[in-house]
Structure 1
Amino acid sequence: MKSILTQLRADLDSMANAAAKSSAERFFKEAIQTRGIKTPLVRKLSAQYKKEMKQLPKKEVFQLCEELWQSGYLEESFVACDWAYSQKKKFEPADFKTFERWVKKYVSNWASCDTLCNHTVGEFLMMYPEFLPELKRWAVSKNRWVKRAAAVSLIVPARKGLWMEEMLEIATIQLEDQDDMVQKGYGWMLKSASESDLNPVFKFVMQHKTKMPRTALRYAIEKMPADKKAKAMAR
């Protein structure tokens, strides 16, 4: 397994771009470690390695993911997320602890948070919805990325029209949170939910718009018809 990571990292190092690295570091508000490789190129490289890993048991794939997370590099976190998601047909309830540990221990920026939670955690929850209540615990974490994860893990289910009640609970818990990363997270969740079922989201926004931070509000109503946007934005 070590040889896979050694070769992967050598390939990533060969793709490093100093100018893109500086640009990415300016783009993120928080400090990040990056080689400056564009995301589509990282995904393409990750896919090449997945072909070599088809015969590996899930446990070994997750061990590789753990080592990738430990590096702290943005690109390696993307590969870890991709490889973990590739095991989705093998997900089992015990995997929740692994995903939760990754969110709590390694996620340190919105890009890694969203990549892990949109796909891997979201897929897991659709397979095992009995874990949905755990998100309410995440929603009040002292860790900003765990709080964001509570909402962005529901983006894909929201688009599928699932779990409106649970999403509105998360939004209510985080309604007045002052962290813009949390506001954008639950606002994005509401926006996604509105695309499949507009009325309950619009009703929620109208009920809470005086308390909802404008950042969250703007995200939530982005896909709504113009007349509803105007009503939501009116003081």
Structure 2
Amino acid sequence: MQKIVSREEWLEARKELLGKEKALTRLHDHLAAERRKLPWVKVEKPYVFETESGKASLADLFEGRSQLIIRHFMLGPGWQAGCIGCSFVTDHDQGALMHLTHHDVNFVRVSRAPLAEIQAYNQRMGWKGRWVSSSGSEFNYDFHVAFRKEDGPMFYNYRDVEFMGEDQPGLSVFVKDEAGQLFHTYSSFGRGDEGAASSYFYLDLTPKGRRENGPRHNLMDWVKRHDEYEASAPSSCCAAE
């Protein structure tokens, strides 16, 4: 049990914490500005993806917009289902798609699995938004989210680590200039995209927090694909009595 205090004592403690929260918000804004100042790398390799409408280049994935976010979704050839963590964050991505596309940003998921396997899992999950296959391309390997065990240590999250599997999660950002040239501006891995999962924001507000206390000490301790949770009684205020 936490310490039980008067409303006045709680208010003093809350105001002290508020100061720290505001400092974190200002730091976040500063980091976002620093991120935008990163130099760019020109993308010259002709990557080709399999899409629902045929083959597409990286430039095609912009769909007329000047900025592109790629979610490197962990779904390898022959997998029965996509990564639980990638599925968790993709549930949250869905609400952002309309707003991003109306703000000059296209958002596309990319996986190594064949297109038919991607489409089957996408249908199961009921997601919207574009999801393409990089099968036969070096795209995932070049952007350090796919690995071959025989190549030795993985260069993942900007450091060499022991092999952890053929696929890893991440986000990569690209921009297209007026001349049609493509540039890689940013990539993030591991917990770098955690801010996209608004469930964490809400859990962090609660007294019990994330409760990731199991053997993995991450979302794998509790998250399931959204169609795998056990049915429970409705809890909304609008539920029938």
Superposition TM-score, scaled by structure 1 size: 0.25
Q: Counting strand residues as a fraction of each chain, which structure ranks higher? A: 2
Answer with 1 or 2: which has the greater Rg: 2
Q: Counting helix residues as a fraction of each chain, which structure ranks higher? A: 1
